[in-house]
A = this chain, B = another copy of it.
Amino acid sequence: MANKVSKSFLKDSHLITELKLCSIRLIDNAKFPWIILIPKRKNITDISELNSKDQMLLMKEIVHCSKLMKKIFKTKKLNVEKIGNIVPQLHIHIIARSTKDSTWPLSVWVIKGKPYSKVLLAKTISKIKKYFKG
């Protein structure tokens, strides 16, 4: 039941790793440390459409990624969001927030993103991958 990752994700994000249920990708926005979890299931747009085993697995992977994001980016503040208004394929955003970031305390959705420079992108991907492997 593997699923193809939507073209928008391939364009705007970079693969970090594959977990049991989800592909983990870095969103190409230098304003926030931001990953998405994409369950590898076909034709699913909402969490409630997953079967109950996958729902539990999704929760486990959200918690696993949350702990890593807090550790990697040294913060306790996370936004965890299922939106899907523009790209319907089910995906969960996990965004590490800081009181010093561009929009604090507002949502990340109130401003436009800014792509990483080539150097910073490579550095960020490698940093995140290291924690996911460890």
Which residues of A are in contact with B by a Cβ distance under 8 Å? 45-48, 52, 55-56, 58-60, 62-63, 66-67, 70, 76-86, 97, 104-107, 109-110
Contacts and interface: CB of A to CB of B under 8 A. Distances in A.
B81 A81 contact: yes
A79 B79 CA distance: 13
By secondary structure, the A interface counts as: mixed
23 contacts: A45-B77, A46-B66, A46-B76, A46-B78, A47-B80, A48-B62, A48-B70, A55-B59, A55-B60, A55-B63, A56-B56, A58-B59, A77-B84, A78-B82, A79-B85, A80-B81, A80-B82, A85-B104, A85-B106, A85-B107, A86-B105, A107-B109, A109-B110
